[in-house]
Structure formats: structure tokens, C-alpha cells
Amino acid sequence: MNIDPIAELLVLFICLLAGTSTLAWGLMAYPLGIAPRASGYFSLANLLILIGVLLTTLRDQTSNYLYWFGADMLLLLGFVLLRSGTQRLFRLNSSIRLDGILLLITGLLMLSQPPSIEASDTLGMLFSLMAATTFLLMAKDNLIALEHTVKRHIAVTLLSPIALMGLAFALRALLLALTPSLTNELASIQSADAIPMLWLFVVMTLWINVIMMGNALTRLVQKMRQLADRDYLTGLWNRRAMQQRLEQLHQRWLRDGQAYSLILFDLDYFKQINDKFGHSAGDAVLVRTAKQVGKVTRAMDFFCRLGGEEFLLILPGTDGDEAQIIAQKLQQALRQSSLNWQGSLIPINASFGIVTTTTGDTPDSLLALADKAMYRAKETGRDRYCTAERQPLDRPVTTSR
């Protein structure tokens, strides 16, 4: 079958977009390493779409399964991989098994029709239903992922090309089912009648890849920002992240009146550990401390390393009595986490300072009070906790060991 020159030009443009996207996503996957698994899916998806479109242009009057069934299945598999890449990019639950079942059912239904121009309306309807389902579900995946990071109207704007592609395929399936006379315009990409549909596919192909590229770069920025907020050794939140979190929690306390507490602790005799066993042993002690304390903290708590051997635990919605109970658990957890270092047992203990919010406090004043309480714990024997003194004449409340 002869192909219309303008339709041929648009098909070549679609192939150019798909080929360029294949290379671009391949570079992002390797060597750049930007969301490598998701980028790999996107690269393979565009490659399959490229091959599928090229095979579609070879359709003629003969009954050829490669040009009909093979081309359609490659295109649909490319769409499925676009969805899988999206889920991988946003760390959503994978639907590859369900998508595979739907693809298999679609393929079996297509095989029930002989691959020919006479069956193109039925084949086009089956193809469009599967494509519409995939793109609409992909739009839903994007909405779920983006609504937690951007405002809803921005998320809707970003995913609109994907949803429009799904709606376009759904409309195509409906028109093929209800208006067989439009088969030339809707089921073929070789005639002049198909030019409007081809223009739609050109725009959508470009738009979808641009949005996915933007999503991948956004994920990279988020990852870099998270790394900037994490301590390189322990993986805990660092001082910068602590200051942001503490300020947010303090503002919530001023607004809602819900108390929160801080537990500041410093490992005992840490310098002696470094001097006797070396800094590698000291690093191992810090990592062990982070893991052991992390096991007994709550999901809502914010655990960070302030620097050196000093750690801070921010306890939202926690009063002074509850904070003391948590400090006891931390104390016990560290006592039971001695490190076996090259045949020597290194005990891990810490001194704790506890403070709970009250009227007139600021984040800085709370940290200062917790720091003073912690140093009182060290001065009175170490491996214990002290609560903050509010008045100079108040007796410190201490608990041995």
C-alpha cells in the first residue's frame, strides 16, 4: 500500500522522537545512572514503539502476522513498559503481572482475527482498548505519586498528556466500533485521512517523554536533597535537617499546644575508644549506636546525628514522663549493644539530657537546656539521664545508670 507523503513524514517524525528518546533514556540509565531501572524501562519502551511503528508502515494487502500482530504487540508492550518505568521511578507497587495478563488476553483476541485490512477495524479497536487502559492507569499512577510532592492542580497538569493519550485511544476504539466508515482515518497510519491522528501522536509522544524526563530529574534532585540532609556515616538525619524539623515542630506546638520533647545524648568515653582501637572502631560504634537506637524509636520520632558522638532524638507529642521512659529504653538498648571489635568487646554507653517544651521556649533554648542536662549526667557518673533544670535553684532530677 502506498503511503501518503505527509503521513509518511509524520511517521518518520514519530520514529525520530522515539529513537531520540531511546538514546536519551539509555544515556540516563547508563552511564549517568539517573534512576537507572526506570530509565532503562523508558528506553526499551521507546525502542519497541519505534520498531512497532516501522513495522506498521509495511502493512499491505497480504496477510502478514509480523506487520499486523507483531507490530501491535510491540507497541502495546512498549506502552506497558512506560507504565512499569513510571512505577519504578516513583517507587509504586508494580502492576506488571496484571498488565501482562491484559496484554496476553488482547493478543489472543487479536489472533482470532486474520491479519488483514478487512479486519483492521476490529484489530484497531482491540489495540486501542488495551492502549487506553494502559495510559489511563499510568495517569493514575502519576497522580498518586505527584500529589504528595506538588499541589494537586500542578499534578493534574503534568499528567494531562498521559490521560489525553488514554482518552484518545478510548475514543478511537469507540469510533471504530460505532462508525466503520471511519476505518481509513482511524485504523491506518498510511492514508491522508490519518494525518490528524498522526499529529496527535506526534504531540503526545513528545509531551509524554518530556514529562517523564522531568519526573526523572525531579527524582534526582529529591535524592540529592535527601543526601544533603543525611549523615554520610550513619545514614541518620544531620544537623541541617534537624534544625528544619525542630523549627517546624516548634511552630506546630505554638499553634496547637501539643508538647514535644528532646533527648540529647553523647557516647561515654568515645575518645578513649578512638585512641585505643582506632577511628575505624569509633566509626563502627557510631553505626552500631544508630542502628540500635533506631530499633527502639517510633515512626514519628526524628533521630539525627549532630556531629562527633552526639545524637538528638526529637519526640513529637511526648511529655516529660514519656520522654524519661524512652530515655530508659535507649539506655538499655545501648548497654546491650557492645561491639566485638577484632576480638575485643567495646561497651557502648551514653549520657542523656531530656527537655520538654514549656511556655517561652525556643528551639535554641531547648537545645541549650538539653545540652546542660546531658553534661550534668556526665558530671554525675555517666551512663545515666538527667532532665533539664528550669530554675537555677531547682534540684536536678537524676536516675542512676
Q: Give dist(CA 312, CA 363) in Å, integer.
A: 13
SS (H, E, C) 113-177: CCCCHHHHHHHHHHHHHHHHHHHHHHHHHHHHHHCCCCCHHHHHHHHHHHHHHHHHHHHHHHHHH
Q: Beta-carbon neighbour count of residue 333 at 10 Å?
A: 19
Q: Give dist(CA 111, CA 280) in Å, integer.
A: 64
Catalytic residue among 8, 185, 247, 309: 309
> Which are the contacts of 393, defined by CB distance < 8 A and separation ≥ 6?
none
Beta strands 350-356 and 385-387, pairing class: parallel
Q: Beta-carbon neighbour count of residue 214 at 10 Å?
A: 11
Annotation says 309 is catalytic: yes
Q: Is 381 left (phi over 0), alpha (psi -120 to 50) or beta?
A: left
Beta bridge partners of 73: none
Q: Give dist(CA 280, CA 274) in Å, integer.
A: 8
| 360 burial via Cβ count (<10 Å: 0-12, 13-18, 19+) | exposed
Question: Is the four-CA dihedral 172, 176, 179, 185 of positive or negative sign?
Answer: positive
| 5 burial via Cβ count (<10 Å: 0-12, 13-18, 19+) | exposed
Catalytic annotation, residues = 309
